[in-house]
Structure 1
């Protein structure tokens, strides 16, 4: 685990709000030079504090109006390997995340669909045909608040 000081925390907060800021602009806000800011960012990246860079897509703007969290209980864990299930579910493009969890269900999937009838099609034709699927429970996302910044 990396030791973080107040400047590191401020830098993480600033980048979590807007990751496109330059090291020079961040440094000016934090009272650091551009090279010192860049060295801190590099140290945090190398320590694994930052995940991979990616674009945050607006799903509604792409036509996906429904997000569903689907709990999946495997019917017979011994007859199908977890790896087989994970490989098959990752091949479904509408599945955004696959989480292996402890509790009532074995997996929690985040699925996006155009609408509820599109989700029903995904559920019937893609998810329910996966190897080992037993019980499922769907929760439709009504709203989502994003927490800003790091812990």
Structure 2
């Protein structure tokens, strides 16, 4: 699917995602038009996702990240759908993942401090529908957070 030129473009873009297409073309030793066509094809093929701003939530005053492992009451036919709909509406929830196995859902949420987390937990999390069991894991350190791929 990808040739060596595509892989090189992707590596350079991962190393410096803010670089302009002319700068990328210069680094590739190609014309800007050719690099632009390649990048557009990678976007069209779904290899490159749309760009988005990544905001450092810690710089905005959030200091706590908690991972909640949730098991749902699967005797309820719409448990997953109703839970996910309600969880999406909680602004402090920054990530939702679903799983196969004992744990059904993992929520990642942020809070300003421990009292803020306790308030969120009582007012927003414990009110979510169909929770059978919940386990909270507070993040102590983020050892690796890298979305770069070995291309």
Q: Which residue of 2 aligns with 1:44?
A: 42
> Could you state the TM-score of these two structures normalised by the residue count of structure 1?
0.90
Q: Which residue of 2 aligns with 1:21?
A: 19
CA contact (8 A) 2:76 2:130 kept: no
Q: Which residue of 2 aligns with 1:58?
A: 56
The number of residue pairs the alignment matches comes to 149
1:42-82: per-residue Cα shift (whole Å, max 9, x none)? 00100111223210101110111111111111124425431
The separation in 2 between residues aligned to 1:12 and 1:89, in whole angstroms, is 34
Q: Which residue of 2 aligns with 1:4?
A: 2
The separation in 2 between residues aligned to 1:34 and 1:48, in whole angstroms, is 21
Structure 1, unmatched stretches of 5+, are: none
Root-mean-square deviation (CA), in Å?
1.6
The separation in 2 between residues aligned to 1:79 and 1:102, in whole angstroms, is 16
1:110-149: per-residue Cα shift (whole Å, max 9, x none)? 1011112211211111111111012111112222222362
Change in Cα spacing, 1:9 to 1:143, as seen in structure 2 (3 Å) is farther
Q: Which residue of 2 aligns with 1:96?
A: 94
Q: Which residue of 1 aligns with 2:33?
A: 35
| Structure having greater relative contact order (Cα 8 Å, sep ≥ 6) | 1
Structure 2, unmatched stretches of 5+, are: none
1:77-103: per-residue Cα shift (whole Å, max 9, x none)? 425431111110000000011111112
The separation in 1 between residues aligned to 2:51 and 2:43, in whole angstroms, is 11
> Could you state the TM-score of these two structures normalised by the residue count of structure 2?
0.90
2:137 aligned with 1:149: no
Deviation at 1:14, TM superposition (A): 2.0
Deviating above 3 A after TM superposition, structure 1's stretches of 4 or more consecutive aligned residues are: none
CA contact (8 A) 1:66 1:112 kept: yes
Q: Which residue of 2 aligns with 1:67?
A: 65
